[in-house]
Structure 1
């Protein structure tokens, strides 16, 4: 088995012509820029690009295929010079069974499946060109369509207070909205990790994945995983998510949940920590708060004698989050060592010291091992590396 660095949740901000796809995404997030940056700067081996259902994105992908730059793999997925792309779509469900909107990820093996899905979507949402659109079918109907087309179905960032499965989507159980058998994995999101999520018994049977949900090139691979597979293809990914034949997630790499922008319960107005029993914020007097992921998981958790055997969840801090490590120094490191994956996983302390000051080399090693001091985030404000 080989190990592959994988980030399965990267948004497209704009098409090649400049048309908006993910309105909150950076203009530089085109399909072509993403595949270059993920391979050459980040050092990833497999990526999931969300929003590939958009017709102009499909046209851009077909242009790459016509030029011989993008090749469909026999096992599914698209190859771009050693990088495998798994095309997908993020959608919003808000049917009669939901208590709030829920975002989900749908992935497909090839262009045929993707184009058929895009054609079906056009009849069931308002704007086929945009990302994360509300689909006017039930959660189960969407699941059945994805499975009919041989796809993967994964609830996205499941604990985020807004637009997620457990944030507001269901009261107690995913079965209120979905068929449990047609869920291929659970995406944890930035404000949680394996150890927190395993307090919820109904999640024990699912593989956990950690992805960036990148809205800019720099945010790609702020969370990712290593996957043991024979080769980086859609079919091997499917087998890894279901732990078939030794294929599996071997490690999740993500921010310490304290750095997530919804980790702790905080004032809606000023983001100061807010205890739910208090009548108002002690900092600004505002009466409303955003319930943090930690408190929501605590509500859903129960005492479990046995939790599943999981791969390690490594609290790793991306280069972009390290205090004092600005764009020029990052470029210097990349010029010397190639990719961010190499810097975070392979380059020795002694070699780092030859390129950056000793104090910065020490911070990079501390970021690699998750030992930097942190302050918690909440109510939409990211935590901080102190």
Structure 2
């Protein structure tokens, strides 16, 4: 029997139980135990992908939690505390002679033992196996085969971001320049793109699209997520859903791409939207960053086009509740206390129930958020867009 679950499959570890950094740019309170607690009780997320599980201290913590019966290993793969399932993964940077620039990829494995086996191999090919997103010194296809050797999933991460991504930096026009297309299980879109933008690229037609948060803080968990129909809430269930066997991606929920840091082509110096990439017409700076919207158009024109043959699930433009104008931290905390968690507030809470706790204007904006109707000001050149008041 299948059931739907909310899933965010790209969450970092900021600090280990021993107090050592894993993702240096992530918050120190982004720990394994905090993720389990915050995901369910505050965010309402059912399935989390922790993509720093290769780090030796993180693996030790998972081992201890299983030994102490805080969590169990599921028969279908993954770890569960009875409320949240965690998939064990790793974010890795590839930059070899075939790449135009660095590319981040996500790899997920079914069990602690498989992650340990992968980690033993992995540590021989990176400088610091304790840290997240390390550059691996080998080509992309060899990495793909190694991930599959350990029964893993292979997913290019935030594929259009101008820095450290497949299309943003890594290839001139096609993923075939660096990867075996048959060994890719899904595509993670990233914050500055959505299904409508990405589906124009013909070589992506056969892959499911994922929308994940790339959370560097607890509050950003669920910034983007998806609803999955699964035969079981486990690694196996996710594998089946991505292959459209006994499950599927039902809906993607993500930021309006205009809210992303790299949607428009903008000058990093003055923030002006630009047509030229060489020099800003406003301030004369050469720090113009090509936007995702422009890059996708370039890729689309460079590839042989064919009619779309994939019926995509809906993509609903949403923002985290903290983005709603007028909804401050104290009021958000009150909402969460009275109305369970964010997923309930966003998807299910009646407008009249919201009005009892917040102003009519804020309640209506939450309903607009639910429907993807909030108006936004575009971001670019490393600056997020914003919701119009």
State the distance in 2 between where 1:201 and 1:182 align: 17
Q: Is the 8 A contact 1:107 1:152 kept in 2?
A: yes
Secondary structure class of the residue paired with 1:310:
coil
Aligned equivalent of 2:294 = 295
Number of residues of Structure 1 aligned to a counterpart in Structure 2: 384
Q: Is the 8 A contact 1:159 1:192 kept in 2?
A: yes
2:379 maps to which of 377, 380, 383: 377
Q: CA deviation at 1:304?
A: 4.3
Secondary structure class of the residue paired with 1:352:
helix
Q: CA deviation at 1:357?
A: 1.1
Q: Is the 8 A contact 2:71 2:81 kept in 1?
A: yes
Show CA shifts across 1:19-68 (max 9, x none): 11100000111111111101111111111001110001111111111110
Distance 1:304 1:350, change over 3 A: farther
Show CA shifts across 1:326-360 (max 9, x none): 11111000000111000000001011011111111
State the distance in 2 between where 1:306 and 1:61 align: 43
Show CA shifts across 1:125-183 (max 9, x none): 00010000000111111101110000000000000000000001000110100111100
Correspondences of 1:9-28 after superposition (within 5 Å) = 9-28=10-29
Q: Is the 8 A contact 1:64 1:70 kept in 2?
A: yes
State the distance in 1 between where 2:245 and 2:365 align: 38
Residues 1:118 and 2:99 aligned together:
no
Gaps of 5+ in 1: none
Correspondences of 1:262-273 after superposition (within 5 Å) = 262-273=262-273
Q: CA deviation at 1:280?
A: 3.2
State the distance in 1 between where 2:269 and 2:306 align: 36
Aligned equivalent of 1:65 = 66
Q: Is the 8 A contact 2:13 2:50 kept in 1?
A: yes
Correspondences of 1:163-242 after superposition (within 5 Å) = 163-242=164-243
Secondary structure class of the residue paired with 2:155:
strand
Correspondences of 1:85-104 after superposition (within 5 Å) = 85-104=86-105
Aligned equivalent of 1:308 = 310
State the distance in 1 between where 2:201 and 2:63 align: 42
State the distance in 1 between where 2:124 and 2:287 align: 39
State the distance in 1 between where 2:329 and 2:150 align: 42
TM-score where L is the length of structure 2: 0.97
1:324 maps to which of 326, 331, 334: 326
State the distance in 1 between where 2:212 and 2:365 align: 23
State the distance in 2 between where 1:239 and 1:206 align: 13
Aligned equivalent of 2:351 = 349
State the distance in 1 between where 2:307 and 2:206 align: 15
Gaps of 5+ in 2: none
State the distance in 1 between where 2:242 and 2:208 align: 6
Q: Is the 8 A contact 1:165 1:174 kept in 2?
A: yes
Q: CA deviation at 1:230?
A: 1.8
Q: Is the 8 A contact 1:199 1:304 kept in 2?
A: no
State the distance in 2 between where 1:306 and 1:184 align: 19
State the distance in 1 between where 2:242 and 2:91 align: 19
State the distance in 1 between where 2:327 and 2:127 align: 43
Residues 1:364 and 2:366 aligned together:
yes
Aligned equivalent of 1:31 = 32
Q: Is the 8 A contact 1:271 1:380 kept in 2?
A: no
Aligned equivalent of 2:284 = 285
The answer to which of 363-372 and 338-347 deviates more is: 363-372
Secondary structure class of the residue paired with 2:143:
helix
Secondary structure class of the residue paired with 2:298:
helix
Q: CA deviation at 1:244?
A: 1.0
State the distance in 2 between where 1:71 and 1:4 align: 19
State the distance in 1 between where 2:318 and 2:136 align: 35
State the distance in 1 between where 2:140 and 2:248 align: 27
State the distance in 2 between where 1:381 and 1:223 align: 18
Note the aligned Cα RMSD (angstroms): 1.1
TM-score where L is the length of structure 1: 0.98
